[in-house]
Amino acid sequence: MSSERSGGSVQLAGFLRQFLMFGIVGGSGTIVNLFVSFLSKKIAGWTAGISEHDVFLNLLGTEYNLRWFNVFLAIAFLVANTWNYQLNRMWTFRGYTQRSWWRGYVPFLCTGIGAFIVSQIVATLLMNPTSPIALPTEIFDDSTGLRTKFYWATAISILVAMPVNFVVNKLWVFRGPKVVVVDEKEPVALGEPSR
């Protein structure tokens, strides 16, 4: 029984170590994501006078719209997702059997899209002034970088989506090879009857 406990402790320690490494990679990806979000917002503002609050696309003639902040988040997601995949492949899950880059990236991207949808929902709820969890305009009035609602909504939405992203990646994208357990039997010498 104690060997089962120690085996479970080793597995838990390995899982926590990987989660920490995944978190470090995710932290670097968060920096990449925030930087690309910031850069997208600034370039759109400088070149076309576009604000993150402006409507990008109306949703099927309804009162709901996709806004430019959704576009900036999508661009940042694609860049950060590629960044995270490569770092996780090289570091967090390096001992696992590797697929080709594209065959591994596609499920990673699909998993990331699931997390991206969660982060889009959270960011939209934080950005929408009528949402019950909207970031308060009195504090986040867009007057300075640290008071820009879009930056805080982006960071919070990434943090909310990270644990789900890790679990799905560990179980699907970077899963270890399947182990087949074979019954153990003593070898039989030639001429002896089998037991």
In this predicted model, what pLDDT tens digit does every residue of 137-176 receive, in sequence order?
A: 999 999 988 999 999 998 899 888 877 777 777 787 777 6
Structural domain including 127 reads 10-173
- Residue 191 lies inside a defined structural domain of this protein: no
The reported pLDDT for the residue numbered 52 is 92
116/122 Cα distance (integer angstroms): 10
pLDDT (0 to 100) of residue 79: 96
Unique residue bearing structure tokens 């879009």? 150
Residue 179 lies in a domain: no
- If one counts the domains in the chain, the total is 1
Does residue 39 form part of some domain?
A: yes
What is the token pair recorded at 84? 């995270």
pLDDT of residue 171: 80
Name the nearest CA neighbour of 41 among 154, 121, 134. Answer: 154
With contact defined as beta carbons under 8 Å apart, do 129 and 137 qualify? yes
Return the bridge partners of 55, or none: 67
In a domain, 185, yes or no: no
Classify residue 73: in a domain, yes or no: yes
Q: Is residue 77 part of a domain?
A: yes
Contact 195, 186 (CB under 8 A): yes
Give the pLDDT of residue 122.
Answer: 94
| Weakly modelled stretches of the chain, pLDDT under 70 | 1-7, 176-189, 191-195
pTM over 0.85: no
Q: How far is CA 156 from CA 52, 66, 90, 125, 195, in A?
A: 17, 19, 27, 11, 63
In a domain, 56, yes or no: yes
Burial zone of 5 (CB within 10 Å; 0-12 exposed, 13-18 middle, 19+ buried): exposed
Residue 189 in any domain: the answer is no
Nearest to 115 by CA among 80, 150, 148: 80
